[in-house]
Amino acid sequence: MVCLPHAGGTASFFRDWNRYLPGNIELVAIQYPGRQERLDDELINNMAALTEELAEEIRPLLDRPYILFGHSMGAAVCHELCLLLTQRRLRLPERLIVSAREAPMHNLTGRLHLAPDSIFCEKLSSLGNTPPELLHSDEWRKLMLPVIRNDYQLIETYQPTQQSAPMPIRISAFVGSKDNELTIAQAADWSAVTSKPFELRIFEGDHFYLCERCAPVVTEAIRSFQLQLLNLSSDAKTWPSTP
């Protein structure tokens, strides 16, 4: 299970998910450059460059079934990554889960990444995932605001790649019932992106609904994947019949 975080997010955002995963599913949390153990790596503020890097990073994992989970900005990155994998004829995920992100046809550009610190931090505060004491910490601002601004620049200047055809990937859209960043209808329109079955799942909560509902989110994320793994395991143990 490969997970991509939101703008300004880190791999540790998913640190609690392991406790809800069965032993046959491995959690791979992606770390964008410029944060935590990749603090010295140059930030990437361009979607194409980021997906190029990620395609190479996950290539060693493509010898086995996997699912992609992206939250907010991470959902858009996952979508573009799937398009790149399709173009390169590489293995696609068994399921793409796009969380708290509107479908590509509703993509909006923005200029918040250019706003002064006070306005920028007000927006971060309204999203509810950053403790107020951090937003008022000069040390935290010096370290993290450039990283978060970088990610906002990436997603606010991003233009979705035009698909020539729907992707042959099962897609699930997860959304919080009180998320002010998008509507339920905008999340539901991910159905137009795929030729495979689509599911919409609504969880109680805001843009970061998954922080308070980790267990049900992970359970729902792997539900169909576990069935697929069981089927694959059964197929591998079955000898072909003789004529």
Query: Which residue of the set 12, 72, 191, 224 is catalytic?
Result: 72
In Å, what is the CA distance from 42 to each residue of 34, 146, 156? 6, 12, 19
Phi, psi at 79, each rounded to 5°: -60, -50
Interatomic CA distance for residues 72 and 6, integer angstroms: 5
H helices of 22-88, in order, are 47-58, 73-87
What's the DSSP call for residue 219? H
The verdict on whether 195 is a catalytic residue reads no
- Which residue matches tokens 């990155």? 77
User: What is the C-alpha separation between 150 and 138, in angstroms, rounded?
Assistant: 18
Q: Beta strands of the chain (E only): which ranges?
A: 2-4, 28-29, 67-71, 95-99, 170-176, 198-203
The token pair at 121 is 């931090």
Which active-site residues does the annotation give?
72
